[in-house]
A = this chain, B = another copy of it.
């Protein structure tokens, strides 16, 4: 069934093209603490791909799916299937090309705030 989807053993997921990524959408995606923490984890090892299940999130599976979809549809992450796992990677190249310095500034800001919270 659904032969096209199973063609190469990987279902395809819709991603916005680089030109379709909107700043407002990126900011909205990152304005949620759960999603911001996902992106921070992803950025810590920038080339790595992590499965959804690798993140230890304080929400259920279905909510996790929802958050990853928001991140994908806003253009922040790229998702690909690998067997039964869905691998997630930051779209750093696209984001850096569209908004130079923004991702680094955001990550630095998040790190700073996390440090402030820990010590305060």
| Consensus secondary structure, chain A interface | helix
- Give min CB distance, A12 to chain B, whole Å: 26
Name the B residues within 8 Å of A113 (CB-CB).
Answer: 22-23, 98-99
Chain A contacts to B: CB under 8 angstroms: 19, 22-25, 27-28, 30-33, 36, 98-102, 104-106, 108-110, 112-113, 116, 120
Name the B residues within 8 Å of A28 (CB-CB).
Answer: 27-28, 31
Question: In the assembly, how many copies of this chain are there?
Answer: 2
- Give min CB distance, A22 to chain B, whole Å: 7
- Give min CB distance, A63 to chain B, whole Å: 17
- Tell me, in angstroms, the Cα distance from A12 to B23 when the chains sit together: 33
